[in-house]
C-alpha cells in the first residue's frame, strides 16, 4: 500500500494469542501461562488423551486389555476349583508316600539287625568267646551277650549241644551286653524252626566263625517282610525281601 507521501506501507499480521485475560494481581509469566492454557485446543481432551492414543493404535489397545485382564482378581469359583484339584492330588499322593515311608522303615531296621549280627560274629572271633544274639518273637528288642565257654563252666558242656544251659540267664555276662530296639512300627516274626511257645530266640556265634542255623523275619506296618538267614558254616547273614502273603 502506497501512502499519499509516496512511501510504501506494509501490513503486519498480529500472531499473538489474542487479548490477555484480566491480569490484575498476577505476574506476567502467570498471565502468559493462563493464555496458553486457554488457547490449547487439546486441553479439554487432556484427561482422555491416553485412552484416545491407545484406541487409535491397535497394538497399544491390545496391551492395555491384557493388562486389565491380568489385574483382575480371582473369582470364588476359580478358588474352589484350585482347592478341589489340590485335595484330589493329596488323596492320590499321600497313601503312596505313607507306604514308601513304611517300606523304608522296615528296610532300615533290617539292615541295622544285619549289622548287629555281623558285630556278634566279629566279637566271637576277636574275643575267642561265644556270643549270642537274642530276640523275642513278636517284640522289637534284641541284644548281643557273651556266653560262657565250656572251659569256664565246671563240669559243663559245649553250649551248642546243651539246650538247658542256653536258657540259664547265669550264663550271660551282663557287663558286656549290647541292647538294641527296633522302631515302634516294626517287630520280629517267628521263624519256621522256632518251637511253638518259645518266648526267646537265640543265635549263637562261635570263635571259629561258625554259628547256629537260624532264620528271623522283620515286619512293619507295610506288607513287606525282610527275612534274615544265618549260614551255619560262615556265620554270615543274608537278607531277602518278601511279602506277608508269601
Longest dimension (CA), the chain: 166
Using the predicted structure, report yes or no on whether residue 52 has a pLDDT greater than 60: no
Interatomic CA distance for residues 162 and 153, integer angstroms: 12
What domains are defined for the chain? 85-243 (3.55.40.10)
| Mean pLDDT, the chain, integer | 71
Tens digit of each residue's pLDDT (9 = 90 or more) over 62-90: 556 656 555 566 688 888 888 888 888 87
Higher pLDDT, 99 or 35: 99
pLDDT of residue 155: 47
Interatomic CA distance for residues 110 and 133, integer angstroms: 14
Interatomic CA distance for residues 235 and 79, integer angstroms: 63
Q: Map grid coordinates 469359583 to a residue.
A: 77
Of the candidates 184, 192, 194, the residue with the CA atom closest to the CA atom of residue 135: 194
Task: Please report which confidence band the pLDDT of residue 120 belongs to, taking 50, 70 and 90 as the band edges.
Answer: very high
User: Could you tell me how many helices (H) and strands (E) the chain has, helices first?
Assistant: 5, 8
Task: Please report which confidence band the pLDDT of residue 44 belongs to, taking 50, 70 and 90 as the band edges.
Answer: very low
Residue 8 is given by DSSP the state B
What is the percent of the chain with per-residue pLDDT over 90, rounded to a whole number?
Answer: 18
pLDDT of residue 164: 37
Beta strands in 99-213 (DSSP E): 131-135, 141-146, 178-181, 187-189, 201-205
The three state secondary structure string of 222-235 is CCEEEEEEECCCCC
User: Mean pLDDT highest for which of 52-61, 122-131, 140-149, 180-189?
Assistant: 122-131
Task: Please report which confidence band the pLDDT of residue 175 belongs to, taking 50, 70 and 90 as the band edges.
Answer: very low
Of the candidates 215, 151, 155, 148, the residue with the CA atom closest to the CA atom of residue 188: 215
Interatomic CA distance for residues 127 and 121, integer angstroms: 10
At 26, phi and psi to the nearest 5?
-120, 155
Task: Please report which confidence band the pLDDT of residue 136 belongs to, taking 50, 70 and 90 as the band edges.
Answer: confident
pLDDT of residue 167: 38
Residue 211 is given by DSSP the state B
Amino acid at each position: 500500500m502506497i501512502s499519499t507521501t509516496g512511501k510504501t506501507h506494509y501490513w503486519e499480521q498480529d500472531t499473538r494469542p489474542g487479548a490477555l485475560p484480566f491480569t490484575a494481581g498476577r505476574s506476567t509469566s502467570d498471565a502468559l501461562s493462563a493464555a496458553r492454557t486457554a488457547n490449547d485446543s487439546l486441553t479439554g481432551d487432556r484427561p482422555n488423551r491416553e485412552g484416545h492414543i491407545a484406541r487409535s493404535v491397535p497394538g497399544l489397545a491390545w496391551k492395555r486389555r491384557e493388562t486389565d485382564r491380568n489385574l483382575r482378581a480371582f473369582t470364588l469359583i476359580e478358588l474352589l476349583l484350585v482347592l478341589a484339584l489340590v485335595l484330589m492330588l493329596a488323596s492320590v499322593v499321600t497313601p503312596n508316600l505313607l507306604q514308601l515311608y513304611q517300606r523304608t522303615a522296615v528296610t532300615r531296621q533290617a539292615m541295622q539287625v544285619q549289622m548287629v549280627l555281623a558285630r556278634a560274629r566279629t566279637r566271637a572271633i576277636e574275643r575267642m568267646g561265644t556270643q549270642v544274639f537274642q530276640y523275642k518273637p513278636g517284640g522289637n528288642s534284641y541284644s548281643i551277650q557273651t556266653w560262657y565257654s565250656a572251659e569256664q563252666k565246671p563240669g559243663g558242656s559245649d553250649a551248642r549241644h546243651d539246650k538247658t544251659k542256653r536258657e540259664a540267664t547265669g550264663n550271660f555276662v551282663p557287663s558286656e551286653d549290647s541292647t538294641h530296639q527296633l522302631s515302634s512300627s516294626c517287630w520280629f516274626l517267628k521263624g519256621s524252626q522256632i518251637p511253638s511257645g518259645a518266648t526267646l530266640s537265640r543265635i549263637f556265634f562261635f570263635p571259629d566263625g561258625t554259628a547256629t542255623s537260624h532264620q528271623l523275619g522283620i515286619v512293619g506296618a507295610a506288607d513287606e517282610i525282610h527275612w534274615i538267614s544265618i549260614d551255619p558254616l560262615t556265620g554270615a547273614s543274608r537278607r531277602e525281601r518278601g511279602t506277608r502273603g508269601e
